[in-house]
Amino acid sequence: MSNNYYLILAGGVGAAKFIEGLANVVDPSLLKIVINTGDDIELYGLKICPDIDIITYTLANIIDKQKGWGVQDESFNCLNALTKFYDFKWFNLGDKDLATHIFRTDLFKKGYNKTEITSIICKRLGIKSQLIPMSNDDVQTFIRTKTETMHFEKYYIKYQCEPDVLEISIHGIDKAKPEKHIIEYIKGAKKIIICPSNPIVSIGTILGLYGIKNALKKVKHKVIGISPIIEGATVKGPADKLMKCLGLEVSCIGVANYYKEILSHFVIDNRDGESKPEIEDLGIHTYCYDTLMDSIEKKKALAQFVINIEV
Ligand code: FO1
């Protein structure tokens, strides 16, 4: 295997925006994308992999760009019909999106694993990059708030990440093995890029798999991270609440501290420029750039900036 590929560690919406830029500035077939599966959930008897789906739909160019998840031009007829049989409806599964989950669940029943299923779906949708679920074992993130312990998706969607988080538990992480190629891909990659994803429940979950952190430590000279925190706040999602729960400073400095053992290059937003010296004191080369990816031009510009960093 040639080693001119980029290995990307990714979560959902933030990662997808960056990857959309990346796929426009490098050959998409050079991207190997390891995706968090801690958000995976079974609902209505269907296997749903939200982060894999977001990246898949983005690279297939069928994502609903407004929402950042789901398929564009969706209808919700099936979900509405399901309310006759189920008493919950907080997970908005569109009719086209449901086709993916039906196909995935069917393949699971036929004995395929998540890696194989993801690859089949990507081929059918014409995706050239390699999407790699972080593990083929079951891992699920749970959130404890004052009133309830619940699946991360319920916290994220039904409760809109509003309640304070008292505890995060990643069920199954101790027994789960990383997908069998990941360690080899870490060694061989030209560069490894940590997307501006939730450091705790997206990237942190991948890092929690046995062997991943150690493998990254050995090649930290070629690992580049991008801060998902701008001016002390997340662009989307509960990263700030989760970092607070773990006693981390909610800032790009907090993220750098969290990643300091595994990377040596870090991109922070221009607006956080005053934090650069403190992050460099951690031994991390720090770069300031516009990291708010609110247009395709800005996604491409950030991706090109990261690709140009010499490791
Ligand atoms: N995100 C939402 O904010 N609301 C939804 O109703 C929702 C439905 C949904 C359905 C399928 C899917 O693959 C993703 C979906 N997402 C939804 C996005 C997703 O749950 C989150 O963005 C991630 O889990 C966070 O990384």
pLDDT of residue 3: 83
pLDDT of residue 297: 98
**Which ligand 1 atom is nearest residue 198's CA?**
26
Angle at 203 between CA 175 and CA 149, to 5 degrees: 65
- Inter-CA distances, 49 with 16, 158, 188, Å: 14, 17, 27
Closest-CA residue, ligand 1 atom 17, reads 69
Cα–Cα nearest to 46, from 97, 104, 96, 92? 104
What is the distance in A from the centroid of ligand 1 to the CA of 135? 20
Q: How many helices (H) and strands (E) does the chain have?
A: 13, 14
| Spans of the chain below 50 pLDDT | none
pLDDT of residue 8: 98
Per domain, the residue ranges of the chain are 6-43+131-139+174-308
**Which ligand 1 atom is nearest residue 92's CA?**
6
Contacts of 141 (CB under 8 A, 6+ apart): 38, 39, 151, 152, 168, 169, 170, 171, 201, 205
**Which ligand 1 atom is nearest residue 202's CA?**
26
pLDDT of residue 123: 98
pLDDT of residue 131: 98
**H runs (alpha helix) in 91-143:** 95-109, 114-124
- DSSP symbols for 211-230: THHHHHHHTGGGEEEE-SEE
User: Cα separation of 18 and 299, whole Å?
Assistant: 6
Per-residue pLDDT reduced to its tens digit, 2-15: 789 999 999 999 99
Question: Measuring from each residue's beta carbon to the nearest atom of ligand 1, which residues come in under 6 Å?
Answer: 11-13, 39, 48, 50-51, 53, 69-70, 91-93, 97, 153, 156-157
Ligand 1: which of 42, 43, 69, 154 to mutate, judged by most atoms within 8 Å of the beta carbon?
69
Q: Could you say which of 3.40.190.290, 3.40.50.1970, 3.40.50.10680, 3.40.50.12160 is the CATH number of the domain covering 6-43+131-139+174-308? A: 3.40.50.10680
pTM over 0.85? The answer is yes
Which residues, in sequence order, are bridge partners of residue 234?
229
